[in-house]
């Protein structure tokens, strides 16, 4: 049995404005109706695979469960990292957790935001790696390079890959090269792109940490030993976890271990590390233009045009080698050759303290989501969508009153000691300080418009008295 382990805590900025800290790219449907996270979970699902183990952070835990449910996949353990400490502590925590129940556990560790269209071919590559794992090897997966890529790290093999794609001993890891070095490695035929995917016995990984990175072992063991159950999640102990070094699995173990081999994978793969990679992974017309619904290209060439907000039409005229991504609160226009510099835009927005730097327009919560339609000094208008059967916490506010108008479905509303059903076109007033709750008793999403008025409208002005999701005061997740 293989235990899929999905690393799902990242918050990359290179796909801004669609990917932001509050809602990163793995949860977004970039290349089709499924999100990258859902596609990753489905790729590692089926005969021979246990339910997926997911490592994520507190803000994303309900998004993880919601998206797995939408994909029809029952999760295994969901481990909550108190803070990001890079991949080495995360991988070790997953290995230690698996060993608690299965001394022979085999883990397949994969990022949640890569695109691998041919899931069957990838699972076949995993199968080819299992004999090496049984012999005590740590297996990494390398992508057969198709061009002299300077944006990826490489794996140097001790010999060229054979026709059957069997594991080949690994000579070393190679950092991202310059163009001349990348061309030489492509010509050599003994290099693969490093996909950052690993297959190993948990016991072998534990021994590798003992040998090469013992400084990581003690705090992660302590964090797991003191972990506490929280609804369906397992929260690693924050004090112990904070003592773990912030280090990648490559630096901590892989570049030091001697029992490494690589399985070549010749199928399509992309880490979608920039809008240029998204453009390359999408269908394009005869002029090399990729467009989304809501985007129109007129006499454009080799460009990407995406409208990511319903009702926003994006039109490009006479563009060449251009990235244009439009949302209802931010627009990116960049030369295709400078796709890797998008993170500079995020840094500039952070300097200006613009909320668009990190905050996604839709704020996802365990009960549904909301978005701000209008915001001024003393009022805010929101659209709120509540999932069927879901309920907001019983709460009150110090600084604002609220008016709710139901526009779709039926809401069960509690205001102090009064409970009423509010249907479409009906409204209810929640005075400042009143204890209130909103629930969706129906089988379809419930939508309402909320008008807030008051001196302070921040999301941290929440006192929770009862919460089905066990959040603290003002907590997002």
Please tell me whether residues 164 and 280 are part of one structural domain: no
pLDDT number for residue 163: 86
**What average pLDDT does the segment 122-133 reach?**
96
Angle subtended at Cα 42 by Cα 36 and Cα 44, rounded to the nearest 5 degrees: 105
Residue 295 forms part of a structural domain: yes
Q: Which residues contact 416 (CB under 8 A, 6 or more apart)?
A: 434, 435, 436
Domain range spanning residue 322? 275-352
Please tell me whether residues 171 and 40 are part of one structural domain: yes
Residue 476 forms part of a structural domain: no
Which residue among 246, 265, 284 closes a domain?
265
Per-residue pLDDT at 475 exceeds 90: no
DSSP state of 209: H
How many structural domains does the chain have?
Answer: 3
Q: The CATH number of the domain where 139 resides is what?
A: 3.90.550.10
Residue 109 forms part of a structural domain: yes
Which residue among 324, 352, 380 closes a domain?
352
Please tell me whether residues 42 and 129 are part of one structural domain: yes
Residues 251 and 241: their CA atoms lie apart, in Å, by: 19
Residue 114 forms part of a structural domain: yes
Which residue among 265, 289, 318 closes a domain?
265
Residue 270 forms part of a structural domain: no
pLDDT number for residue 460: 87
Please tell me whether residues 235 and 148 are part of one structural domain: yes
Tokens standing for residue 252 = 């901590």
Tokens standing for residue 298 = 């007129």
- Segment 76-103, tens digit of pLDDT: 999 999 999 999 999 999 999 999 999 9
pLDDT number for residue 249: 95
Residues 429 and 405: their CA atoms lie apart, in Å, by: 9
Please tell me whether residues 423 and 307 are part of one structural domain: no
Please tell me whether residues 93 and 194 are part of one structural domain: yes
Full DSSP string of 398-450: SSEEEEEEEEES-EEEEETTEEEEE-TT-EEEE-TT--EEEE--SSS-EEEEE
Please tell me whether residues 370 and 436 are part of one structural domain: yes
Give me the chain's average pLDDT, please: 94
Residues 239 and 236: their CA atoms lie apart, in Å, by: 9
Residue 106 forms part of a structural domain: yes
pLDDT number for residue 459: 87
Please tell me whether residues 439 and 303 are part of one structural domain: no
Please tell me whether residues 191 and 281 are part of one structural domain: no
Is the backbone of residue 112 left (phi > 0), alpha (psi -120 to 50) or beta?
Answer: alpha
- Segment 353-366, tens digit of pLDDT: 999 999 999 999 99
Full DSSP string of 276-289: HHHHHHS---TTS-
Please tell me whether residues 120 and 37 are part of one structural domain: yes
Please tell me whether residues 35 and 134 are part of one structural domain: yes
- Segment 450-466, tens digit of pLDDT: 999 999 998 889 999 99
Residues 73 and 67: their CA atoms lie apart, in Å, by: 9
Please tell me whether residues 344 and 368 are part of one structural domain: no
């Amino acid at each position: 049995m293989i235990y899929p382990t999905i690393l799902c805590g990242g918050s990359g900025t290179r796909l801004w404005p669609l990917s932001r800290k509050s809602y990163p790219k793995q949860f977004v449907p970039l290349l089709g109706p499924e999100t990258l996270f859902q596609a990753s979970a489905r790729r590692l699902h089926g005969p021979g695979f246990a339910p997926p183990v997911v490592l994520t952070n507190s803000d994303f835990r309900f998004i993880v469960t919601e998206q797995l449910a939408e994909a029809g996949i029952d999760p295994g353990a969901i481990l909550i990292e108190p803070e990001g400490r890079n991949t080495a502590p995360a991988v070790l925590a997953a290995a230690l957790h698996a060993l608690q129940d299965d001394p022979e556990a085999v883990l397949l560790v994969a990022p949640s935001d890569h695109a691998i269209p041919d899931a069957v071919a990838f699972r076949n590559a995993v199968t080819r790696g299992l004999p090496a794992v049984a012999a005590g090897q740590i297996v990494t997966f390398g992508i057969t390079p198709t061009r002299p890529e300077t944006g990826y790290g490489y794996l140097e093999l001790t010999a060229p890959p054979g026709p059957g794609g069997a594991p080949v001993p690994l000579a070393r890891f190679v950092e991202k090269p310059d163009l001349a070095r990348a061309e030489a490695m492509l010509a050599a035929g003994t290099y693969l792109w490093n996909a950052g995917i690993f297959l190993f016995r948990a016991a072998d990984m534990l021994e590798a940490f003992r040998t090469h990175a013992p400084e990581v072992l003690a705090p992660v063991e302590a964090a797991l030993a003191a972990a506490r159950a929280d609804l369906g999640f397992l929260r690693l102990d924050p004090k112990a976890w904070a003592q773990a070094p912030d280090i990648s699995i490559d630096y901590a173990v892989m570049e030091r271990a001697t029992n490494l081999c690589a399985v070549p994978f010749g199928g399509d793969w992309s880490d979608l590390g920039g809008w240029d990679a998204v453009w390359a992974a999408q269908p394009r017309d005869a002029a090399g233009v990729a467009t989304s619904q809501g985007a129109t290209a007129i006499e454009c060439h080799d460009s990407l045009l995406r409208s990511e907000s319903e009702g926003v039409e994006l039109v490009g005229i006479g563009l060449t080698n251009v990235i244009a991504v439009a949302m209802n609160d931010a627009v990116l226009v960049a030369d295709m050759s400078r796709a890797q510099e998008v993170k500079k835009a995020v840094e500039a927005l952070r300097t200006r303290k613009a909320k668009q730097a990190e905050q996604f327009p839709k704020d996802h919560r365990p009960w549904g989501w909301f978005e701000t339609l209008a915001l001024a000094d003393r009022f805010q208008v929101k659209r709120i969508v509540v999932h069927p059967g879901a309920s907001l916490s019983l709460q009150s506010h110090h600084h604002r009153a609220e008016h709710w108008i139901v526009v779709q479905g039926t809401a069960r509303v509690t205001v102090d000691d009064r409970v009423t059903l509010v249907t479409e076109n009906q409204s209810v007033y929640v005075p400042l300080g009143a204890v209130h709750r909103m629930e969706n008793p129906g089988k379809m999403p419930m939508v309402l418009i909320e008008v807030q008025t008051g001196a302070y409208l921040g999301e941290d002005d929440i006192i929770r008295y009862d919460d089905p999701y066990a959040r603290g005061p003002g907590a997002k997740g």
